[in-house]
Amino acid sequence: MHIHILGICGTFMGSLAIIARQLGYEVSGSDTNVYPPMSTQLDMAGIEIKEGYSAEHLMPVPDQVIVGNVMTRGNEALEYLLDQRLPFTSGPAWLHEHVLRTRQVLAVAGTHGKTTVTSMLAWILESAGLEPGFLIGGVPENFGYPSKFSKSRHFVIEADEYDTAFFDKRSKFLHYCPHTLVLNNLEFDHADIFDGIGDIKRQFHHLVRIVPGGGRIIFNHDDRDIRDVLEMGCWTGVESFSAMDASATWFADSADPGASRFSLQRQGQPCGTCAPGVFGRHNIANATAAVAAAVHAGVGVEDACRALESFSGVKRRLEHKGTFGGIRVYDDFAHHPTEITATLSAFRAQQPQARIVAVFEPRSNTMRLGVHADTLVHAFGEADRVMMLEPDGLEWSVRDLAERMIPAAHVCTSVDAILDILMHEAHGGDSILVLSNGSFEGLSDRLVSMLEQRAGPAVQGPDFRTG
């Protein structure tokens, strides 16, 4: 059976394509944004990617077309699909029908930290011998690929609140029907599809409504908006987690917010020590959530904590690209002010003497609309130097914001200009953090290549990860 995926290089759709290939389907796809790591993963799986959205990509006619949520009416391939009455479905609906319906699903939802918690949880279950299937919106270093089909009854999935498809505006996670649900946090995001935080809470409430009574909801004790969601109605047993409040069901006790080692308590009783290898208060909470979810799946607390000691992080989550002449280069997916602040704070705790240079691309739909522009003013406070790209199509002025930022940001209109400045200014002892949820025109890889030419091959020093 041949399936063709429109929007195949998105993190969800690309991971779905790999699972379909593992199930024995012939898989092809179309996209306009073809870049690593997803393009590399698809190539390794033997999946053909066609550039653009031509109607010719659907000739000969596939048995089914899976439509990604990036597709909108007026697109040539989509209009051809509708005119020719080709069979189509959404990615989440296909996944539920072919994989999730017969599995015990462990889903991780929330505005931030989904990829890290899902990766941690999958690794814990793998280390415990449960051989879970999984679908993650990133590439966990421990596995080297973002998704896997297995015959195990356990399936771990990153549960995104973004909408499903042009014909199904519900959040994707409503198709997953989880047995174990982690609610990590909630903030306003995706301003292109949600009018406000209330809209997002409503979708999360719908998700809570489909968790069975015999399941479990593990929620962030410190997040008021998550608590609001549960107060809208909950019919499932709950457990809370916190890295700040000892009254939570699961409490991570750590005096050092920049540390990676912490003592774990359950119902006020010590139950283990965790050292997950990623840093920062937010990752201490992430690890605690992952342990709690794994325990509900039948893993012992000590086994879960032991597995986290070998957790290696996720690509593009403060991924260390190498050190060149004393200059460290990192690539990070942070694109929301809260994520940027958490990443820089944790990084500063680990490298207090480094000159931190943050290079940021305002790329997400929410960021391009300017919803979080004012919040960015203080998000880079731990950086010593900030550089920002001013792309075309923004509905706000990067230059006006840059003047108010602390520290003030230098604005460039091209990646080439950013690279020129970095190569001129960077010196030994600097740590350069490239922050974007897109390819950033390959900035981090291009910077690595230029530094390597100047200083020689990378030297692998300490790999400070914040998840």
Q: What is the pLDDT of residues 422-437, one digit of tens each?
A: 999 999 999 999 998 8
pTM of the entire predicted model: 0.81
Q: What percent of the chain has pLDDT over 90?
A: 65
Who wins on pLDDT, 353 or 216? 216
Identical topology for domains 2-89 and 99-308: no
Q: Residue 463 has what pLDDT?
A: 47
Length reported for the chain = 467
How distant, in Å, are the alpha carbons of 30, 54, 55, 66 from that of 74? 16, 12, 12, 17
87 and 63 Cβ atoms separated by less than 8 Å: yes
The domain made up of 99-308 has a fold known as: UDP-N-acetylmuramoyl-L-alanine:D-glutamate ligase (3.40.1190)
Could you tell me the pLDDT band of residue 256, with boundaries at 50, 70 and 90? low
- The CATH fold assigned to 319-455 is Protein-Tyrosine Phosphatase; Chain A (3.90.190)
How confident is residue 462, by pLDDT bands cut at 50, 70 and 90?
Answer: very low
* Peptide bond preceding 62 in cis form (omega within 30 of 0): no
Two tokens at 219? Answer: 């929620």
> Is the pLDDT confidence value at 464 over 60?
no
How far apart are alpha carbons 418 and 422 in whole angstroms?
6
Residue 100 CB neighbour total at 10 angstroms:
21
- Cα–Cα dist 79/55, whole Å: 8
Could you tell me the residue ranges of all domains in the chain? Answer: 2-89, 99-308, 319-455
What angle do helix axes 91-98 and 11-22 make, rounded to 10 degrees? 30
State yes or no: pLDDT of 91 exceeds 90. Answer: yes
Highest-scoring range by mean pLDDT, 20-24, 309-313, 388-392, 442-446: 20-24
Q: What is the CATH architecture of 2-89?
A: 3-Layer(aba) Sandwich (3.40)
pLDDT beyond 90 at 106: yes
Q: Which residues pair with 28 in a beta bridge?
A: 4, 48
Q: Which two three-digit tokens encode residue 269?
A: 């009783």
How far is it, in rounded angstroms, from Cα 187 to Cα 200? 8
Spatial separation of the C-alpha atoms in residues 229 and 227, rounded to whole Å: 5
* CA–CA distance, 71 with 53 (Å, rounded to integer): 10
What pLDDT, in 10s, does the model give residues 117-176? 999 999 999 999 999 999 998 889 999 889 999 999 999 999 999 999 999 999 999 999
DSSP 177-195: --SEEEE-------TTT-S
Collect all residues with Cβ–Cβ distance below 8 Å to 204 and sequence separation of at least 6: 109, 161, 183, 186, 226, 229
